[in-house]
Amino acid sequence: MQKCSHCQQKFTLGQVFKSFWCNYKTILCANCKTQYNHTTKNKTLGGISAALGVIFGSLAWALIELDKSTKIVILLVVTILFTLLFSVFSSYFFTFERVDVKNHA
Ligand SMILES: [Zn+2]
């Protein structure tokens, strides 16, 4: 996980994960309150995680032979589960860029 470039405080997985699920919300360093934005790379990784979740959901749909209503539940559960799983995994590769407050006025 990336460290704060100002105070070397490490971002936690929970912090990164929560920010990701809040539509790539700006991360605040827990120690010095420096703000960080998600990079384009994170958004790409997030998109891939969701795509993989959908692919696994479709696979479950194709492979499981049950009645349609049960399959819909399985499809949803598998898609959500795998999207979460892949997004936790990709959170480890997320990078952030510091928001320069001075140039932001
Ligand atoms: Zn900091």
60-85: pLDDT as tens digits: 999 999 999 999 999 999 999 999 99
Ligand 1 centroid to Cα of residue 11, in Å, is 9
- The Cα 25–Cα 38 span in angstroms is 8
**Average pLDDT score over the chain:** 93
Neighbouring residues of 5: CB distance < 8 A, sequence distance ≥ 6: 34, 98
Ligand 1 centroid to Cα of residue 63, in Å, is 48
Q: Identify residues whose C-beta is under 5 A from ligand 1, the ion.
A: 4, 6-7, 9, 29, 31-32, 34
pLDDT band (50, 70, 90) for residue 103: low
User: What local confidence, expressed as pLDDT, does residue 102 receive?
Assistant: 66
